[in-house]
Structure 1
Amino acid sequence: MAADGPSAGLTPRDAARLEHLRDPAVRDLAWLLFSPDLLRAQPPAGMLAEPFESADEAAATLDWLVAEDARPDALHQHIAAAHVTRLGRYAECLLAWSLQHGPAARLVAANVALRRNGLTLGECDFLVQTQTSRRLHWELAVKCYLHAGESRAQLADYVGPNLQDRFDVKLRRLLDHQLPLSARAEFASLGHPGPWDAQMLIKGWLFYRDGGTPAEPAEIDPNHARGWWTTRADWPAFAAARGAAWAVLPRLQWLSRRRRSGDASAAGLFDIPALSAQLAQHIGPTMVAAFAADDKNGGWRETSRGFVVPDAWPALALAFARE
C-alpha cells in the first residue's frame, strides 16, 4: 500500500500481500491496522495504540485479512447493518470487526458513554484486552487535514477541508478530555473495572499545497500518509503532470488507495477536461485521485490523491489556521 501502507517491520513479501488485497472494505481495514500514524506519541497522556503486541500477531492478522479478502460477505453485512455515512463511523465499524473476529486484541466494549446527573460527559471509543491481558482504552480518529500555512511548522496550520476542524484543536481535545475519560471516578460504576491504559489511534492523510514539503511540526509522524491540494484554477496543469485518468473519491473512499476494475468508463474514470467540468459544479473542496492501468493485476490502481479547492479557499484556510 505504498506510502499509505504497512508499518515498518513488515517484510516486503508481507507488504506485497497487503497490496494484493482486492476487496475495498478489506483493504480499508488493512490500511486502518497497518498504515502509519499521523502523530508521534505525546507523553504522558497521548500514548499511541499498537494494534499488535508482537510480530506474530501482525503476521496472523495478515493471514486473517487474506482470508477475509477471499470471503468478505460477512464484513459487508456488518458494515451495511451499521448504516454508516460518516468516515469516522466507517472506521469504527471496521476496527470493531477486527477486534471481534481478528487474532489480536479483543473487544470488551465500544462507545461506552460516561454520564453524570443525566448529562453525557463523553464516550470512550473502544475498551480492549490484549492477548497478554493488558486492558486498553483506545480513542480512534481518522482525519484528513490540509496544510494551509506558509512556512510555520505548527499543528494549527493543518485544517479540515470544510474549515470546521483543526489538528491542534483535535489533539488538545484528545489529550485533555477524551483520553482521561476511563480514569474518571464515574467510569468505575459502568461495569468495566480498570485500570485502563488510554491510547490514541490517529490515522489519516495530510495534504500539502501542490505536493510541497514544508517544515512539519514535531508532533507529526514523518512517515504519515500524504497527498496534495491545489486550486481549481491550477488543477488542470497540475493534473496533467500526474496522470490522464481521474475520479472523484466519495468520503467513504478516503482510507486506503483505491482500485477500480473494467475499462475506464466502467471504472468511473474521466480525463482532465471531463473531471474539470464536474469540479465546476462543486461548492467546496473535492478529493480526487489519479489512476493508472495495473498491467500486472488488471484494472486500475490509484497513483496520486489530493483536494481540488475553490480559488478563494487558501486565503480563508490561512485565516482559519491563524484564529
Structure 2
Amino acid sequence: MLYTLREPVVRDLAWLLLSADLLRAQPPVGMLASPFDTSQEAEATVDWLRALDADPAELQRELTATRITRLGRYAERLLGWFLEHGPAARLVAASLPLRRAGVTLGECDFLVTTQQGARLHWELAVKCYLHAGEGHVRSITQLDSHSVTQSTTPSTTYPAARLADYVGPNLKDRFDLKLAHVLNHQLPLSGRDEFASVGYPGPWTPQMYIKGWLFYRVGEAPAGPAELDPSHGRGWWVTRSDWSDFAAAHAQTWRLLPRLEWLAPRRHERREAEASGIAFADAHTLAEQISNQHGPTMVAAFADDGVGNLIERSRGFIVPDDWPGRAQAYAQQ
C-alpha cells in the first residue's frame, strides 16, 4: 500500500510497521516484536494509515516541534506516534534511562501493552548495512524494484555471507556487533534489578524491532547468513569508477537521498517536487554532485508512472574506489 500513500511521513510510518524485519528471531533472548497481535489489528492499522494520510497535520506538527537529525530518532518518533494514536499496541513509556549510583546503564526504547494484555519491552533499530564480503562480479542486465538482476553466465557459487560482512557505510558500525549489543545489553535491561526504580515494575517481555535495508555489490549474490530474514529490504552498491557503466545500462532519473529519507521507498508528484526544489538528475550530473563527498552516498532511481508521479525503482550507495578494501578489512576485525 506504500505507493497509494501521498504523505512522506505517513509512508515512512507505514514502512516501519509493514516492512519485513531484517532478522529472524534469535531465541531465547532475541524474540521479534510485532505491531499487531491479530489480523484485525493489522487491517485496522491499514485503515488508520489511510485516514492519517488524508489528514497528517497533527503528526507533521509533532515531528517538526523539535529538530530531528538522526534516522533512529526519526523512527522512534514515528513508532511512538503509532503506539499513542494507533489501533493496536499502546505506549506505556518511551526512552527510559536506567541508572545505578548515578551511572547510566542504558535506555529502554519502549514499554508497551497489547490489547491482549501482554507487557512488552521493545528495542528499536533501523539500520542500513552494505555487504562487504568477497564475491565475483557478474555483468548487469536489469535494474528492477530494490534489486539488481545479474546475467546468467557464467554461473558462480558465492560464499555464504557472515553477519560481520554487513558494515555501516561510514565503517563505524557492523551488524554482528549491533546484534550482540541488542541481545546482550539492550534487551536484558528491563529484567535487571535496578529497573524497578524507574517506576514500571516488571515483568516485561523483551523483543527486538529491527528494520532497514541491506545493500549488495552490483553483480553479487551471496547466500545470506542464517540470522537474516530472507525477505529483508535490498539495495545495491557500486564504486565511483563503475558508476558510469552501471548507470549507462539503466536510463533513469536519479536523486540523492538525504539520511531522513532512508526509510520507505520514495514517491514524488512531479509538480510538487519541482515546486519544492527537490532535485532530480541524470547519471552524469549526479556523479558531479557527489564528486567532493568523501564517503558513500545513497541514491535512488526513479521512473515515471504515467500519471505524473516519480516512483522509486531502486536504491543504492555509490562508494569511493578505496571503500571496498577498507570495508573488507573492517569486516575482518
TM-score normalised by L of structure 1: 0.93
| Whole-angstrom distance in 2 between the partners of 1:244 and 1:26 | 26
Q: How does 1:296-311 map to 2 (within 5 A)?
A: 296=307, 298-311=308-321
What is the CA distance between 1:244 and its match in structure 2?
2.2
Query: Which amino acid is 1:126 matched to?
Result: F
1:23 is the counterpart of 2:7: yes
What is the CA distance between 1:215 and its match in structure 2?
1.4
| Whole-angstrom distance in 1 between the partners of 2:251 and 2:30 | 39
Q: How does 1:1-323 map to 2 (within 5 A)?
A: 17-150=1-134, 151-262=159-270, 267-296=278-307, 298-323=308-333
What is the CA distance between 1:285 and its match in structure 2?
0.2
Query: Which amino acid is 1:160 matched to?
Result: G
Query: Residues 102 and 211 (structure 1 numbering): CA distance in 2 closer, same or farther, change over 3 Å?
Result: farther
What is the CA distance between 1:152 and its match in structure 2?
4.3
Q: Is the partner of 1:239 in helix, strand or coil?
A: helix
| Whole-angstrom distance in 2 between the partners of 1:53 and 1:208 | 33
Query: Which amino acid is 2:193 matched to?
Result: A
| Whole-angstrom distance in 2 between the partners of 1:203 and 1:161 | 16
Query: Residues 265 and 19 (structure 1 numbering): CA distance in 2 closer, same or farther, change over 3 Å?
Result: closer
| Whole-angstrom distance in 1 between the partners of 2:221 and 2:325 | 19
Does structure 1 conserve the Cα–Cα contact (< 8 Å) formed by 2:3 and 2:267? no
| Whole-angstrom distance in 2 between the partners of 1:195 and 1:242 | 53
Query: Which amino acid is 1:183 matched to?
Result: G
Aligned counterpart, 2:149: none
| Whole-angstrom distance in 1 between the partners of 2:244 and 2:197 | 58
| Whole-angstrom distance in 2 between the partners of 1:313 and 1:165 | 14
Does structure 2 conserve the Cα–Cα contact (< 8 Å) formed by 1:32 and 1:95? yes
Residue ranges of structure 2 left out of the alignment (5+ in a row): 135-158
Does structure 2 conserve the Cα–Cα contact (< 8 Å) formed by 1:243 and 1:290? no
| Whole-angstrom distance in 1 between the partners of 2:130 and 2:81 | 30
Overall identity of the aligned pairs, in %: 64
Does structure 2 conserve the Cα–Cα contact (< 8 Å) formed by 1:243 and 1:291? no
Q: Is the partner of 2:241 in helix, strand or coil?
A: coil
| Whole-angstrom distance in 2 between the partners of 1:173 and 1:130 | 26
| Whole-angstrom distance in 2 between the partners of 1:161 and 1:185 | 37
| Whole-angstrom distance in 2 between the partners of 1:45 and 1:193 | 19
Does structure 2 conserve the Cα–Cα contact (< 8 Å) formed by 1:242 and 1:304? no
| Whole-angstrom distance in 2 between the partners of 1:247 and 1:184 | 46
Query: Which amino acid is 1:242 matched to?
Result: H
Residue ranges of structure 1 left out of the alignment (5+ in a row): 1-16
Query: Which amino acid is 1:56 matched to?
Result: Q
What is the CA distance between 1:265 and its match in structure 2?
5.4
Spell out, residue by residue over 1:110-144, the C-alpha distance to the aligned partner (whole angstroms, 9 max, x if none).
Answer: 00100000000000000000001100000000000
TM-score normalised by L of structure 2: 0.90
Q: Is the partner of 2:111 in helix, strand or coil?
A: strand
Greater alpha carbon shift after TM alignment, 185-194 vs 65-74: 185-194
Spell out, residue by residue over 1:157-180, the C-alpha distance to the aligned partner (whole angstroms, 9 max, x if none).
Answer: 000000000000000000000000
What is the CA distance between 1:148 and its match in structure 2?
0.2
Greater alpha carbon shift after TM alignment, 234-243 vs 102-111: 234-243
Query: Which amino acid is 2:300 matched to?
Result: A
| Whole-angstrom distance in 2 between the partners of 1:42 and 1:158 | 18
What is the CA distance between 1:62 and its match in structure 2?
0.5
What is the CA distance between 1:103 and its match in structure 2?
0.3
Aligned length: 306
| Whole-angstrom distance in 2 between the partners of 1:294 and 1:94 | 28
Spell out, residue by residue over 1:180-235, the C-alpha distance to the aligned partner (whole angstroms, 9 max, x if none).
Answer: 00000010121102110000000000000005221110000000000000000101
Query: Residues 125 and 211 (structure 1 numbering): CA distance in 2 closer, same or farther, change over 3 Å?
Result: farther
Does structure 2 conserve the Cα–Cα contact (< 8 Å) formed by 1:115 and 1:121? yes
Does structure 2 conserve the Cα–Cα contact (< 8 Å) formed by 1:292 and 1:302? yes
